[in-house]
Structure 1
Amino acid sequence: QISAMAVSKYENGKATPSSTVLLSLADALNVRVEYFLRPEHVELEMQGYRKHHTAPNRLLDRIKADVKEKLERFLELEAVLPVLPVGEFRVPRALADRIDTYVDVERAAADLREAWGLGVNPIPELIDTCEEHGIRVFRTSIPHDEHFDGLAALVRGNPVIILGEDWPGDRQRFTLAHELGHLVLEGRLAKDLDMELAANRFAGAFLVPEQAARRALGDKRHWLEPRELWLLKQEYGLSMAGWLHRARDLGIIPDQTYKRLRQEFKARGWLKKEPFGDYPGEQPRVFEQLVYRALAEDLIGESKAAELMGKPLMQFHSECTA
């Protein structure tokens, strides 16, 4: 067991851990030993936790260490590339400077979609879309049960969003859209609006624009069938419960109908596990693509590529030649 005093000395450069200690630290944090030896070191400037803000500090420390290790590999790779294919994230200038109502939040989501050239159709790969616009997206494999529901951070001024690796795709997508809402609404939201409610409204509107929701459901409904909601979930990547919220927000169903449907979902356990099957999960692709690009252009060797990918050299080589 390593004392807190010893860890403090390692962090402050007053002592150097032995190889045995490095192995123990790597095991405790669930990272590779290379994490402690990388030339790039970053700090996560935390922007906030969504929903489960009472997650134990020990769990959050492990998640942050896991993400930092991934980030440092990303930055090490970026350092060898002459030109980065992905630019910095910027909130489009077309967005309103002040957002006074939740209807204005809807407009902000629509304006961002327009600025990104997304139209009103479903977004097939939301992680890809965010990465293309300068948002680093990482998934953590640290076991977290229900104590962790995503977090956002800044690294050297660039936004980073962390998702759970084992989450179903609709949960990944809503969390990502919610945190995107925070980035867009920050500094624009009227004081009498609740930021979390606004970010939720933004997420729903970004995933399913009003025009698309009315096209799918109609302008007025008195009931929604669960199987109908599941089919829409498969099309848009928004959960069945998310569709209920969307229909209520837009006045498609009255509040009474929303409450009855929520009660039915709760009674059947669907608020925790929705029926008929999950929406498939997504995964970041930019980093892996850049590794193979650097390898193809002889900017790194195969052993370095394997290290950056966090894989044994033989495994990486077999995957390259398969």
Structure 2
Amino acid sequence: MKEIFSKRLKSARMQAALSQDQLVEKMGNIVSKNAISKYEKGEMMADGGILLALSKALNVKPDYFFRPFTVQIEKIEFRKKKKLSVKDEKAIRQTVTDVLERYLEVEQFLNIESAFTNPIAEYKIASFADIDHSALALRSKWELGLNALPNVIDLLEDKEIKVIEIDAPNEFDGFSGWADDRIPIVVINKNFNIERKRLTALHELGHLLMVSDEKIDDKEKERSCYQFAGAMLLPGSTLKSEIGESRSHISVSELIAIKETYGISIQAIMARAKDLEIINSLQFLNFRKWISKNRTEQDLGSYMGIEQAFRFRQLVYRAAAEEVISLSKAANLSNQKLAEFRQDFIAL
């Protein structure tokens, strides 16, 4: 128990992005930094009063500190900007692990087993044509057709991929990985706009599914995943049916219409047009100069769909409604106070 407590305490502190000194201060200096250090090394156990203070300071339930670790996330492809601190990166990893543990726990209560198989494992990626081909193959195997994808997150969750949205700094884009070497996970920043969420989710899907040539370096792999995401959102034949095989000029109004229909940013549309040789490199360069003053694409349309990860919450509600778990346990899994959960939950 002492070993679990020590690891959980350090995990919760890292999730909160607090140093030991900052945690002591947040607890009102009722313990010393030396005591926190001993707790985390498993050399000392906190009493009931300190445990409650730790729980309050770290915004976790007291029983969190005694929950066994059940998930190991591996093969992580972490996308971030250089400005993201090491502390924030560790906090993100710990937060994702915590959410995933609760996600898998509720699935166990409902006897749900994940059985994911990579539908495009046989496609080896060595060129842009391979990327386009693999995206078309995935659309075919998932029976998606060539039209717009209404909800990317729903799609991934329906296909046994765990999608986790977290409140993270803008410097964090997303990451993908495998839990216990068998469960695919995609993590995205919930603060992004809808088009960026969709592109990021599919970019991370590319990391999970595409089997790249060993000669491809990390930078080229990132580019390949970006191209894969664009191909999933806007297949080549679909884009060409919208704007034609070759263009010397494209109007902003056309781009906005495509953005609002297919849920893909204007910047990603133009990158796709360049890759498909609908426009040339000079046209794309001129576009990038023009859009550089408005990277967020303000007043340039918006996709009107919804992109949110609902499945975990739905499973918790289902388990509570069927009385597989108590409301108290459901609140615990949702990381809510019981009163807050009762407000959200109505069983018929």
- Please classify the TM superposition score into its range, dividing by the shorter chain length: 0.7 to 0.9
Provide the rounded CA distance (Å) in 2 between the counterparts of 1:60 and 1:94.
30
Partner of 1:107: 133
| Cα distance in 2 between the residues matched to 1:29 and 1:226 | 48
CA distance in 1, matches of 2:251, 2:59: 44
Candidates 77, 95, 99, aligned match of 1:70? 99
- 1:124–1:25 distance in 2 versus 1, CA, 3 Å: farther
CA distance in 1: counterparts of 2:104 and 2:40, whole angstroms = 21
Aligned sequence identity (%)? 34
Q: How many residue pairs were aligned?
A: 314
Which residue of the partner structure matches residue 238 of structure 1? 264
Describe the shift of the 1:314–1:107 C-alpha distance in structure 2 as closer, same or farther (beyond 3 A).
same
Q: Which is worse superposed, 257-266 or 12-21?
A: 12-21
Hey, what's the Cα distance between the residues in 1 that align with 2:178 and 2:287?
39
**Structure 1 residues 88, 24: closer, same or farther in 2, change over 3 A?**
farther
1:321 match: secondary structure: coil
The equivalent of 2:112 in structure 1 is 83
Q: How many Å separate the matches in 1 of 2:99 and 2:33?
A: 25
- Higher mean C-alpha displacement, 48-57 vs 105-114: 48-57
Instruction: Kindly report which structure 2 residues correspond to 1:9-48, keeping only aligned pairs within 5 A, or say none.
Output: 9-11=38-40, 13-18=42-47, 22=51, 31=60, 33-45=62-74, 47-48=76-77
Per the normalisation by structure 2, the TM-score is: 0.81
CA offsets 1:77-114 (integer angstroms, 9 cap, x no match): 12211234xx3332115742x22211111101111111
**Aligned equivalents of 2:288, 2:318: Cα separation in 1:** 48
- What residue in structure 2 maps to residue 153 of structure 1? 177
Per-residue Cα deviation, 1:263-301 (whole angstroms, up to 9, x for no partner): 1111xx222444335445511111122112212322112
CA contact (8 A) 1:88 1:134 kept: yes
Which residue number corresponds to residue 222 of structure 1? 248
Distance 1:63 1:289 in 2: 23
Matches within 5 A, 1:303-318: 303-318=328-343
Change (3 A) 1:99 1:43: closer
Using the alignment, how far apart are the partners of 1:20 and 1:226 within structure 2? 62
One-letter code of the match for 1:183? L
Q: Which residue of 1 aligns with 2:188?
A: 163
Matched, 1:92 2:119: yes
Distance 1:46 1:99, change over 3 A: closer
Q: Which protein shows a greater Rg?
A: 2
For residue 207 of structure 2, what is the aligned residue in structure 1? 182
CA contact (8 A) 2:131 2:228 kept: yes
| Structure 1 residues 159 and 111: alpha-carbon distance in aligned structure 2, compared to 1, 3 A threshold | same
2:73, 2:179 within 8 Å by CA — same for their partners in 1?
A: yes
Distance 1:227 1:27 in 2: 52
Counterpart selection for 1:297 from 319, 322, 347: 322
Residue of structure 1 equivalent to 2:18:
none
Mapped contact 2:76–2:176 kept (Cα < 8 A): yes
The 3 A distance-change label for structure 1 pair 44 and 235 is same
Q: Secondary structure at the match of 1:150?
A: strand
Alignment RMSD (CA, Å): 2.6
Q: 1:126 deviation in Å?
A: 0.7
Task: Kindly report which structure 2 residues correspond to 1:130-141, keeping only aligned pairs within 5 A, or say none.
Answer: 130-141=156-167
Gaps of 5+ in 2: 1-20, 25-31
Task: Judge which range, 43-52 or 60-69, deviates more.
Answer: 43-52
CA–CA distance in structure 1, aligned partners of residues 215 and 33 of structure 2: 42
**Match among 178, 188, 198 for residue 173 of structure 1:** 198
Provide Cα deviations, 1:195-248, integer angstroms capped at 9, x if missing partner.
111111111111111111111111111222223212211211111100010111
> Which residue in 1 is equivalent to 2:295?
271
* Residue in structure 1 matched with residue 221 of structure 2 by the alignment: 195
Q: Could you tell me which residue of structure 1 aligns to residue 231 of structure 2?
A: 205
User: 1:48 touches 1:152 (CA, 8 Å); kept in 2?
Assistant: yes
Q: 3-state DSSP class of the match of 1:50?
A: strand
Q: What secondary structure does 1:139 align onto?
A: strand
Letter in 1 for 2:97: K
Contact kept, 8 Å, 1:88 with 1:133, in 2: the verdict is: no
Contact 1:67–1:138 (CA under 8 A) maintained in structure 2: yes
- 5+ long unaligned stretches in structure 1: none
